[in-house]
Chain A
Amino acid sequence: MLKRTPIKNHVQEIQLISQRCIIMLVGMVFLVLLLTLRLGYLQLSKHALYNTLSNKNSLDLIPIEPTRGLIYDRNGVLLAENIPVFSLDVIPFEVDNYPKALAEIAKIIPLTDTDIAQFQKQLKQHRRFDEIPLKLRLSEAEVAKFAENTYRFPGFLVKARLIRHYPFDASLSHTLGYVGRINIDELADIDATNYSATNYIGKLGIEKYYEDELHGTVGYEQVENDASGEPVRILNQIVPIPGKNLYLTLDSKLQFVAEQALEGMRGAVVIIQPKTGEILAMVSQPSYDPNLFVSGISNQDFEALQNSPNRPLYNRALRGLYPLASTIKPYIAIEGLDSGVITPSFSLFDPGWYQLKNSDHLFHDWRHHGHGTVNLLKAIVSSCDTYFYDLAAKLGIQRIDHILSEFGFGELSGIDVDEELPGVISSPEWKRTTKGVPWYLGDTIISGIGQGYMQATPLQLAVAVATLANQGQHFTPHLLLKEQEPGKAAVSQSPILINKVELTNNNYWNIVISAMQSVITSPNGTGYLHFGHPAYSVAAKTGTAQVYTKQRNETDEDVNAQSRLPEKLRDHSLFIAFAPAENPQIAIAVVVENSKLAPGVARKIMDFYLLQELKLTPTPNNLTSVSKNSEKNTDGLHAVS
């Protein structure tokens, strides 16, 4: 090789290449210095910044959801629990093309339109890096199928989570309420920190009212994440504090009996333990399955519930407003006695109507030809309207309103759920402000039989009759018996006395109560036929709330008048009672819409509670007082007012 090139050239070339090598070396050293400067800049002068960024990258404080407290009945029967379910979750941030991804995943895990609609709704309400459940309650087969295909669906994951479950389905939904996903409005109100891991919140009933107790305190986990947000290891942990377990005053057995008694009807039952105000059962029929709401109810299901003519979503026990009707009469009687307007022996003649002086307007008794001579006892037993028209006129609206509010009408009962309505006690001021018309004496008179503008909820009816049973001790009705912090003993709630209805003579209580006992035992009693003859002493009062105002020419004597009306226009039947009359253990209010069946419903419930739960031995005097009078029985058939 060397032979082919002249020596001169060779030397020259060597010199050239060596020279270039040195230039290159200088260049390389310069570049390496540049690189070193760059490294120095990143690692030395900007180290603090990048170190912070690095820590932020990898360290994350992950909130841990506390386990929601359980709900039991008074005997420890589990009413609301948390069950583990697998859900298919989506992290929106990691999904590029929704329609495609959803279509693909639907091939593996069937998705309903509702699932997708629900998900789209959630998508708008959540941050892009939140996990949003697409489908709850995956079957094991679906979980397995997804596990095989996980790699195909970035951003999708199967998560095991605890979900609220109500084992008795529709049974207690009106009382327990339900939990549902936190919505935007609720988000504004809750403690964002404590709820940072929580997806569900009490929406209604006990679940809502005791949300703070049930929820618990959020825990934290300091984790190191990789770039895809997957936790790699836990550095630090603050264990969440589970919510408190609640024991309700409800007696689930009694509740189920009450529900069964009301089966197929529209109505409500509220049962209170008079001496404490504890609610033993609270039923509104028809009902709905709260579990539907937990996982997000489909529009279809919701519309079906919403549009059902029987209005299952409507909580009749707390929100149903019914005229007090004749159930008002014991309270009016008490006020009459207490104020001295009447005495137990005072009597008047009932021709079938009541007429004010200087007026030709007749206030009709429910019994067209009247009750004849009527004293207080008879007025209550056969529910004489004329007697109470007269008493109301004598008392005046102010005293009527006073005694009604003493018994808890017209205001919230203070029960520990939020949904209740206060009802209405009509007064001249109330009429002027809400109706814009003045109060007439006639308004006072019909108030005496619980018609007119007065409205009460079944809960209020029950509270009032419990107060009566208690001889004036008015306790706040409540559902919470005791609450139990995890790992601690349960703390009982003590009954809260609202007020005491003081009478000038305590004997007045006995007069009214014994009259109410006769409602059941006397053949003339309005409850005689429909309630029947129990083996325990009952004090009761029936009531019939008009839905449709009778025409003048229609008579109540017409047995078929009601059944000719369309069902929804038929009268509601009301029934209030407590038993045993001498030592009340249970106070009950029953309202059955467009039906006469309230006393029968109450009977079934009371029989169960008194005879099966309390195992009362039948009292002989009760049994003997039952006489059979077929003629009176036909009378009693429509003897409900």
Chain B
Amino acid sequence: MLLVDGIKNKFKKREMGTQYRTFLQCIHIDLPLLIGILLLIGLGLFILYSASNQNPKVVEQQILHTGIAFFVMFAFAQIPPTSYQRWAPWVYIVIMGLLLAVLIMGHIGKGAQRWLNIGIFRLQPSEIMKLSIPMLLAWHFHNIHLPLKSKTILFSGIIIFIPALFTAKQPDLGTAILLVVAGSSTLLLAGLSWWFIGVIITLAGLGTPILWYLMHDYQRQRVLTFLNPERDPLGSGYHIIQSKIAIGSGGLFGKGWLNGTQSHLHFLPEHSTDFIFAACGEEFGFIGSIILIILFMFIVLRGLYITINAQDTFTRLLAGSLTLTFFVSFFVNMGMVTGILPVVGIPLPLISYGGSSMLTLMASFGILMSIQTHRKLLTT
């Protein structure tokens, strides 16, 4: 601990000495994180331009999303962590209410419904839930004595699974999984005991048949197809086979920007959304993919750095959980596109086309920046 503090203080002294750090500190921006995000989004726009068949409208739209998302990030970064902490329970309750409203409206509309149409924009409560769950849990764990007790774990389980079930019911399996990931990562960081984790894994193994029973047919198809994509090469296995062909045909250096045949010729499904990584692998090859992974990992490492440097339990848990969720979402996406994980609808963070997930993601970066820049400087 002393060692960590020592490094931290040394770092702070050096940073304090520069002029721009003060300026960025004032506007609550974390430069390394910002650089990582900008690099990924910039690269993402290039990939998207190619993957969307050089459709300038898609890119324009994505730039608009990005602009709004940066504004949201900036706004979230200005809010001090104490405010998040104070509002955490209320935010959760409100979002839970909205989620319920979506579910009911979906029932009435007889179809998939994920958002509430509030005149000027669509509000997707399940996305905000990704931030709200770790916030509420971190708030709760901050107020109690760690390590966790069984009662707390049970309470956390309810907090996580009710919104996750609602979301899965929409049906949006990808987001539901990320909600569980966001919640359970908070639990893990809060010191969930290893034997409990063992019990959960065992239970999950036993619970698989029940889960199978609860799944929608298309979700079952996805699982079956994941286990054996050749089962239905032109049906549900099509996505993953074509995705593997796209990535594999990229080779070491790739086919070059705008030269990917798989994505341009529509063999690759969802090539600008969930499967955009395949388009990237095809055009930029192994090297391009690794560079992309390195950029993602850079953001993850910066997130962990912020976590470790956070000054209280709430901010630490929140920062750690947001970072882990970010990691899981990019890892699961890449895993499904490369065929090591089943296809669940999780977009590639910051790269995939789409506004909703981008907003939540940038909001979470805003929170990370807030945590990093609102630290009370300790005198040493």
Task: Using CB atoms and an 8 Å cutoff, list the residues of chain A in contact with chain B.
Answer: 1-2, 4-5, 9-18, 20-21, 24-25, 28, 31-32, 34-36, 38-40, 42-44, 46-47, 49-51, 53-55, 57-58, 224-228, 232
**Which of A12, A28, A43 is in CB contact (< 8 Å) with B285?**
A43
**Contact B286 A25, beta carbon cutoff 8 Å:** no
**Contact A9 B146, beta carbon cutoff 8 Å:** yes
Q: Which residue of A lies closest to B194 (CB)?
A: A23
**Contact A1 B312, beta carbon cutoff 8 Å:** yes
What are 30 A-to-B residue pairs whose CB atoms are below 8 Å? A1-B142, A14-B316, A15-B1, A16-B147, A20-B189, A21-B307, A21-B308, A24-B188, A32-B297, A36-B293, A39-B247, A40-B286, A42-B244, A42-B281, A42-B339, A43-B248, A47-B251, A49-B248, A50-B244, A50-B248, A50-B249, A54-B262, A57-B265, A57-B267, A58-B262, A58-B267, A224-B261, A227-B267, A228-B266, A232-B265
**Distance of A625 Cα from B210 Cα, bound (Å):** 113
**Contact A54 B245, beta carbon cutoff 8 Å:** yes
**Distance of A40 Cα from B293 Cα, bound (Å):** 13
Q: How near does chain A come to B91, taking the closest CB pair, in angstroms?
A: 18
Q: How near does chain B come to A414, taking the closest CB pair, in angstroms?
A: 54
**Contact A43 B188, beta carbon cutoff 8 Å:** no
**Contact B266 A227, beta carbon cutoff 8 Å:** yes
**Which of A13, A42, A53, A224 is in CB contact (< 8 Å) with B146?**
A13
**Contact A35 B340, beta carbon cutoff 8 Å:** yes
- How many chain B residues touch A (CB < 8 A): the figure is 58
Interface string of B244-257 (1 = CB under 8 A from A): 11111111100000
**Distance of A46 Cα from B249 Cα, bound (Å):** 8
Q: B85: which A residues are within 8 A, CB to CB?
A: 1
Q: B142: which A residues are within 8 A, CB to CB?
A: 1, 5
Q: Which residue of B lies closest to A18 (CB)?
A: B308
Q: What is the predominant secondary structure among interface residues of chain A facing chain B? A: helix
Q: B143: which A residues are within 8 A, CB to CB?
A: 4
Counting chain B CB atoms within 10 Å of each CB, the highest count among A16, A17, A58, A224 belongs to: A17
**Which of B145, B191, B247, B334 is in CB contact (< 8 Å) with A43?**
B247
Q: How near does chain A come to B149, taking the closest CB pair, in angstroms?
A: 14
**Distance of A452 Cα from B265 Cα, bound (Å):** 74
Q: Which residue of B lies closest to A49 (CB)?
A: B248
Known: A18-B4, A58-B261. A39 touches B289 (CB 8 A): yes
**Which of A2, A20, A39, A55 is in CB contact (< 8 Å) with B191?**
A20
Q: Which residue of A lies closest to B253 (CB)?
A: A43
Q: Which residue of B lies closest to A228 (CB)?
A: B266
**Contact A1 B340, beta carbon cutoff 8 Å:** no
**Which of B188, B248, B282 is in CB contact (< 8 Å) with A20?**
B188
Q: How near does chain B come to A51, taking the closest CB pair, in angstroms?
A: 5
**Which of B189, B266, B293 is in CB contact (< 8 Å) with A24?**
B189
**Contact A17 B267, beta carbon cutoff 8 Å:** no
Q: Is B66 an interface residue (CB 8 A)?
A: no
Counting chain B CB atoms within 10 Å of each CB, the highest count among A11, A15, A35, A226 belongs to: A35
**Contact B1 A14, beta carbon cutoff 8 Å:** yes
**Distance of A49 Cα from B251 Cα, bound (Å):** 10
**Contact A50 B307, beta carbon cutoff 8 Å:** no
**Distance of A42 Cα from B242 Cα, bound (Å):** 12
Q: A224: which B residues are within 8 A, CB to CB?
A: 261, 265
Q: A21: which B residues are within 8 A, CB to CB?
A: 189, 304, 307-308, 320
Q: Which residue of A lies closest to B85 (CB)?
A: A1
Q: A49: which B residues are within 8 A, CB to CB?
A: 248
**Contact B307 A17, beta carbon cutoff 8 Å:** yes
Q: B185: which A residues are within 8 A, CB to CB?
A: 24
Q: With contacts A35-B340, A53-B249 known, what are 6 further pairs, Cβ within 8 A?
A: A4-B143, A17-B189, A21-B307, A43-B251, A227-B266, A228-B266
**Distance of A224 Cα from B261 Cα, bound (Å):** 9
Tell me which residues from 223 to 277 in chain B have a Cβ below 8 Å from any Cβ of chain A: 242, 244-252, 261-262, 264-268
Counting chain A CB atoms within 10 Å of each CB, the highest count among B248, B250, B313, B317 belongs to: B248
Q: How near does chain A come to B178, taking the closest CB pair, in angstroms?
A: 16
Q: Is B190 an interface residue (CB 8 A)?
A: yes
Tell me which residues from 290 to 325 in chain B have a Cβ below 8 Å from any Cβ of chain A: 290, 293, 297, 300-301, 304, 307-308, 312-314, 316-317, 320, 324
Known: A16-B147, A20-B191. A34 touches B340 (CB 8 A): yes
Q: Is B331 an interface residue (CB 8 A)?
A: yes
Q: How near does chain B come to A38, taking the closest CB pair, in angstroms?
A: 5
**Contact B340 A43, beta carbon cutoff 8 Å:** no
**Distance of A357 Cα from B335 Cα, bound (Å):** 109
Q: How near does chain A come to B242, taking the closest CB pair, in angstroms?
A: 7
**Contact A44 B191, beta carbon cutoff 8 Å:** no
**Distance of A409 Cα from B290 Cα, bound (Å):** 86
Q: A39: which B residues are within 8 A, CB to CB?
A: 247, 281, 286, 289-290, 338
**Distance of A54 Cα from B247 Cα, bound (Å):** 10
Known: A16-B146, A28-B327, A35-B331. A47 touches B312 (CB 8 A): no
Q: B286: which A residues are within 8 A, CB to CB?
A: 39-40, 43-44
Q: Is B82 an interface residue (CB 8 A)?
A: yes
Q: A46: which B residues are within 8 A, CB to CB?
A: 248
Q: B261: which A residues are within 8 A, CB to CB?
A: 54-55, 57-58, 224
**Which of B191, B245, B251, B300 is in CB contact (< 8 Å) with A16?**
B191
**Contact B338 A42, beta carbon cutoff 8 Å:** yes
Q: B262: which A residues are within 8 A, CB to CB?
A: 54, 57-58
The 4 closest A-B pairs by CB, nearest first: A50-B248, A54-B249, A226-B265, A227-B267
**Contact B335 A44, beta carbon cutoff 8 Å:** no
Interface string of B328-368 (1 = CB under 8 A from A): 00010011001110000000000000000000000000000
Q: B242: which A residues are within 8 A, CB to CB?
A: 57, 227
Q: Which residue of B lies closest to A231 (CB)?
A: B265
**Contact B338 A17, beta carbon cutoff 8 Å:** no
**Which of A18, A43, A51, A228 is in CB contact (< 8 Å) with B289?**
A43
